[in-house]
Amino acid sequence: MIRKPITVDFEKYPDVLLPYFNGADTYDSSCSPFAKVVFIDKNEGFYLKMAEKGTLKREADMISFFASKGLSKNVVEYISADRDYMLTERVLGEDCTYYKYIDEPKRLCDTIAVLLRQLHETDFSGCPIQNHTKLYFDTVDENYKAGVFDSSYIDESLKRLNADDAYKYLRERKDAFENNVLLHGDYCLPNIMLDDFKFSGFIDVGNGGVGDRHIDLFWGAWTLNFNLKTDIYRERFFDAYGRDKVDNEKIRLVSVIECFG
């Protein structure tokens, strides 16, 4: 994870957060233009995420739910004031882009596949997002109208589709999706934390909820290709997850959805 030393201007933060800064070194750990993340090196560590007002509520709720299942660390503070502030405990270990894990690609592939299957078998009773599919397709509708379409995600067999054809393709197949597993929502190597290959926790679960497993399966295969610079582990990943639950047509469908952001 990126950590650049910074000096904190205490006047810019709500008073309730100031005790966490006292006596601590601080680092900029941001990796997105839409949010600022500060690592606070105190005790076992904290991450303070800041973004536009109202935009972190879903993530705070999902992290709290994941933490209740032993799948993440707790939200310490969530404040919605001039902007949103979310303070979370640090998940120990390193994310799966760490060289130690990348250097053992087969073991890494099998590890994240098994972890995903375990996540999808977790009881989702009480999850704050019970219909991820609706939110997923709402985003498609919104971005289609806004002219958003990135064909780089689309399956090779569907490369012929332009934005209008892709949108029609999706609307005709919308009912194929189910809300029957607990999703991470952005199941990529940087969001899976391991401690010497032992599961430590998930981070960045703001796109999670109860939805269709093939969204996470798509991203699991995608991240192995993207981060390992090869697609040779794709089938191994699906095998390790369990072929009994993998529908390739649904994965192709997700690839079209992701073109709309």
Encode pLDDT of 151-193 as tens digits.
Answer: 999 999 999 999 999 999 999 998 999 999 999 999 999 999 9
Catalytic residue selected from 61, 84, 95, 186: 186
Domain boundaries, position 238: 94-260
* Domain co-membership, 14 together with 65: yes
pLDDT range class, residue 146, cuts 50, 70, 90: very high
pLDDT computed for residue 174 by the predictor: 87
pLDDT range class, residue 230, cuts 50, 70, 90: very high
Q: How many residues does the chain have?
A: 261
Active-site residue 186, yes or no? Answer: yes
Number of domains making up the chain: 2
Query: In a 10 Å sphere around its CB, with 0-12 CB exposed, 13-18 middle and 19+ buried, how is residue 8 labelled?
Result: middle
How far apart are the C-alpha atoms of 199 and 104, rounded to whole Å? 16
pLDDT range class, residue 71, cuts 50, 70, 90: very high
* Domain co-membership, 135 together with 150: yes
Choice among 11-15, 31-35, 80-84 with the minimum mean pLDDT = 31-35
The predicted model gives 186-213 an average pLDDT of 97
* Domain co-membership, 12 together with 56: yes
Distances (CA, A) of 190 to 10, 26, 108, 124, 176: 30, 21, 12, 23, 29
Domain boundary among 89, 119, 146: 89
Domain boundary among 46, 71, 89: 89
